[in-house]
Structure 1
Amino acid sequence: MKALALLAAMLVTASVVADEDPLPQASVADIKELVQVCHQMATEDEVTKAELQDYLLDCVNDQLNEMGYQRVESLQKFQ
């Protein structure tokens, strides 16, 4: 039980520290590559045209998050 409390405290501390230091921005080239990969995934997942832009934005932001980069608000300048 103490281990769980310690882990929870460490996670809270890490999230507070993470909020103080903004994440770096990914390069335009990296984001464009992620858009291409996510577009291929959308094709494989048979995403409809109406859902495509939301799918791509979510997919790219998930990948950016995993890579330790800031999220993007829009993909317009990367497509």
Structure 2
Amino acid sequence: MKKTLIACILLTLVSSSSFAQEDEVELKQASKEYVLSLLKMCQGYAVEDETPKDELDAYLLTCINDELESEDYYPIKALPKA
């Protein structure tokens, strides 16, 4: 009986750790071309949203990083230069 109980506990621990590892996503580095395409897309959104010039850089950075995050890429710290 003790062996069965120990086996069940070990099985639970092993299966729990494998589920936890499946949730971890390995981030990738986005290519410069992809980031520039996101910049262009986000600039279009900024025009549609009538984003003020003094808020534009922050808006674009947030927009690009939101898109990168949704595709499992590392975020960027500064806007790319075209």
Same fold (TM over 0.5): yes
Select the residue among 57, 68, 78 that pairs with 2:72.
68
Contact 1:31–1:78 under 8 Å retained in 2: no
Letter in 1 for 2:81: F
Q: Which aligned pairs between 1:1-79 and structure 2 lie closer than 5 A? A: 13=20, 14=23, 17-18=24-25, 21=26, 23-75=27-79, 77-79=80-82
CA distance in 1, matches of 2:33, 2:81: 9
Number of paired residues?
64
Q: Mark the runs of 5 or more structure 2 residues left unpaired by the alignment.
A: 1-15
Larger radius of gyration: 2
Instruction: Report the Cα offset of residue 66 of structure 1.
Output: 0.6
Q: Percent identity?
A: 34
TM-score, length-scaled by structure 2: 0.69
Structure 1 residue runs of 4 or more that deviate by more than 6 Å after TM superposition: none
CA distance in 2, matches of 1:62, 1:68: 10
Q: Mark the runs of 5 or more structure 1 residues left unpaired by the alignment.
A: 1-8
Instruction: Report the Cα offset of residue 78 of structure 1.
Output: 3.2
TM-score, length-scaled by structure 1: 0.72
